[in-house]
Structures are given as C-alpha cells and as structure tokens.
Amino acid sequence: MVSSRARALTAGLALATFAAPAPLLAAPYIIEGSDTFAMTSRTGARYRVHVHVPRRPAPPGGFPVLYLLDGDMTFASAVETAQRLARFGRDEGQCEGIVVAIGYPDEDYMLARRSFDYTPEGPPDAVAHPTGGAPAFRRFLAGDLMPRITGRYRIDTARQTLWGHSFGALFVLDTLLGEPELFRNYVATSPSLWFGARSLLGGLAGLPARLAAAGPRTLHLEVGEREQDSLRARSQAMAMTHRELADRLAAVENLEVHSRVYSGESHGGTLLPGLGQAVRVAFQEARP
C-alpha cells in the first residue's frame, strides 16, 4: 500500500518536473547600436566588419573613429570601454566616437589570415603561416573600408585612429612609416619587432618627407615590462628594441611619440590595457 506521504512526494516531483523552466535558447550576443557586415577586397580576401555608433546625433564636425585590428576579439571590449569613458570621463576630455573593428568570417583561419595581412613584405621569417600581405591589406583599408565608413556615417576624417597588437601593432607602425596620411593617431601595442625591424628601419628614411606632406601625427608605442628581455634577445640581430625605436621616431619632425611600458605585463597581457589606451586616444575632445 502506498502511504499518503509517498503520494504527496510523487505528486510534488511531478509538479516540479512540469514547472521547471525550459532551457534558454542559444542566441548571439548583440551590442546595441552595432552593425556587422561582410566585405571582400579587390584581391578576393573576405572580411567581417563590426561598427558601433553612439546613440546621440553626431557633433557638427562628425564623430572621431577608432579602427581596430583583430576586430573579432577586441570589438566588444572597446565599445564597453568607450561607453564608460564617454559617461564618466568627460571631465578628462573624453567624448563619444565610432568603433570600427576588422575581423574575419572564419575564425579557424584567423591566425593564418592575420599573419599574412599584418606583416610587411620582405624575406620570409620563421613563421608557420604566409606573410607579407600588409600592402594589399592597407589598400583594402584605405581604398574600400574607410570610404565606406565615411560614406555611411558622419565622421571627422581628421580624427581617425588605428590600433593593433603584436603583428597588428607591426602593421600600425608599417602604415605610419609608409602612409602616415591615413590616420591622425597610431597606437601600437607590443609590436612584433623581432619580425619586422628590417622593414621598419628601411621606412624610417622617408618618414620626414611623408610627414611634411601629411602634417603632424601622434604615435603611442607600448610594450609589456616582462616581454622586454625576450624581445631584446629576438631583436638583437636587427638592433631594434622598443626603446630604441621610440627614441629614433621621437627625433622625427612632425611626429609626437608617447612611449609606455606596462608594469608586470607579458606580451599577451598588454592587449587589454593597450586597447583601453587606444580608446582614450581616439575619443579625446578635439583641441581648439
């Protein structure tokens, strides 16, 4: 015979089973005010571009713009940082701006794609993936993506910033040396100088003339304290370290150089503080 207590327990279990909430359906994470679209370069390379635009109307001169490399990894953090600084950093001159993050449609191939897109032409180095695609990627950036952003949104073309980390930072430096007119501010976090020092040294000679035509530019060059020794060892044959590069660039007329060492950070650990610094640089109120 089944006791009344057992009947009550069975009924309670049945009720709990039917009352249990249904599992949540998986859904993509969406940032309000953002847009994502695909683009294909003239060489057939495919990209995924993320854009975030502030809610309020653009100021009379348009929004400043921050372009991010490794965009699939950095977009959300940059947008959140930009929103918080715009809200709580106005006393420090922070303003709102547009974030444009350049990523790839297939994450499985991201490492190979970035190794190619972000590295300058030159003799092959000890890298597992093809390199030397920076000129083609820069043509896509300057000839396809930037005109599309300018045509679609109200931007201040005189206040555009480029940020990258590691190979991405190497691309930032390569762009500054080769086509400084593309951006006003350049933020290079932990550039892979062990790879590209020869190319950078080659580009330094023509930089003063290019800056004379482009006008004043600003470079923020950053590195982690803990990566200095390994960077120095890998760069020894090319006679190039973060400090040496900063000193040489600081001597160039029309180039304002800010050098920063992140205390206690390794190569990978500089990404987030470097990204935050890029947001601060990009979204400062315009100087009178």
Tell me the sheet residues that pair with 103: 48
Among the listed residues 68, 67, 63, the one whose alpha carbon sits nearest the alpha carbon of residue 156: 63
The DSSP code for 145 is: I
Integer distance in angstroms from the first to the last C-alpha of the chain? 90
227 among known catalytic residues: yes
Q: Which residues of 176-193 are buried (b: 16+ CB within 10 A; e: fewer)?
A: bbbbbebbbbbbbbbbbb
Taking a C-beta distance cutoff of 8 angstroms, is the pair 255, 219 a contact? yes
Q: Are residues 258 and 219 in contact, defined by beta-carbon separation less than 8 angstroms? A: yes
Task: Quote the CA–CA distance of 83 and 81 in Å, as a whole number.
Answer: 5
Active-site entry in 115, 166, 192, 235: 166
Nearest to 212 by CA among 254, 179, 247: 254
Taking the C-alpha atoms of residue 200 and residue 238, their distance in angstroms, rounded to an integer, is 10
Q: Is 258 a catalytic residue?
A: no
Two tokens, residue 26: 């998986």
| 230 among known catalytic residues | no
Longest alpha-carbon distance in the chain: 99
Q: Which of 190, 227, 242, 265 is catalytic?
A: 227
- Nearest 5 degrees, angle CA 211-CA 197-CA 45? 80
- Which residues are marked as active site? 166, 227, 267
